[in-house]
A and B are shown apart, each in its own frame.
Chain A
């Protein structure tokens, strides 16, 4: 077994070179390079975490804006509905007023027409009376041979007409 057989002659060189090369490994690779490699990993982890945080913040902001938009949208909708309702009311009131005015005008015209008809009828009646009075005077004059005065005839006609 050379490990034991050569121990006396090789132990010092083995230990010496091990310390030299393991020392190089530790100080150059372990102390010099490994922290940089781990630093890169930490940097990357940090970058990923920061990116994730930024993405989350952006999403939160988007949610917030959507919420605000929704509130604004609801407000706008309510305002629009109010305007529509007001316009409807206005329209209804206006048309009602117009209708009322038209009704009044119609009523007035109707009343005027009725008055005119009444007048015409009265006039006609008066004329009929006058004609009847003249006719009565004429008849009396021809049949009885005496003249009746106009007021008497008129009175008689009126009586007759009143009785129908």
Chain B
């Protein structure tokens, strides 16, 4: 009798499950079950807190850990100063939180903890999460824009130096591209994270199924897939950093539009 073929569902890793009977928790009629997704958000916060805490020794001559934390704060600070200018400094707490939260979530979700029975959950591969983060960033842009410039903020839709007859054509295009921003911002991260995880899962299913199908298939299909997985894991680590960076960078650029109109 042939062995039961292993079923690997590449999408199963994104399933959200309530933990420890919290499925019925409700707040004002809405379900707020403490799911595995929420669990990994909590882990991300704890790890990030521990990381930044290590940089709080406030030594004049920093140690390695403090250097690392200061590297990240300096990185965000420089990015905001380069894109927004001096006024960008007040956004450092938000953009730093955003960047580090996404970065740590992406990297924690990639950790090979499955081998010891803990299944990492990458909550940034859910558009409910990335969408909310994008909407927060977009709201900040809108609030800052209207707060600083009032209705003059609408001149954002008329790029500098547009000839008068072109305004009726350009303005709607600019408006649409502006309104698309939160979607592109949220979807980019969600798609990048999900695609990477699906790819890894599909390749791992090749390894498992190929090996189960016999030594020949294992050598022809399983081994190349496994080598490819190693490479793609490295690529995914890169993507984890890049996507967090892109999210933070685009947020900074959008805030720049609001802060320095044109």
Contacts and interface: CB of A to CB of B under 8 A. Distances in A.
Interface of A: 1-3, 6-7, 9-22, 24-26, 28-31, 33-41, 43-44, 47
Interface centre among A11, A16, A28, A29 (most CB of B within 10 A): A29
Contacts of A18: 41, 123, 128-129, 132-133
B31 A37 contact: no
Closest 3 A-B residue pairs measured CB to CB? A30-B93, A17-B38, A30-B97
Given A37-B52, A38-B77, A25 B31 contact: no
B133 to A, nearest CB: 7
B169 interface: no
Interface string B2-41: 0000000001101110100000010100111111011001
A127 to B, nearest CB: 120
A19 B27 CA distance: 14
A43 B16 CA distance: 46
23 contacts: A3-B190, A6-B15, A6-B16, A9-B31, A13-B34, A13-B35, A13-B38, A16-B27, A17-B32, A17-B38, A17-B41, A18-B123, A19-B132, A21-B38, A21-B41, A29-B100, A31-B93, A34-B92, A34-B97, A37-B56, A38-B92, A40-B62, A47-B60
- Which label, helix, strand, loop or mixed, suits the secondary structure of the A interface? helix
B70 interface: yes
Interface stretch (B43-51, B173-181, B247-255): B43-51
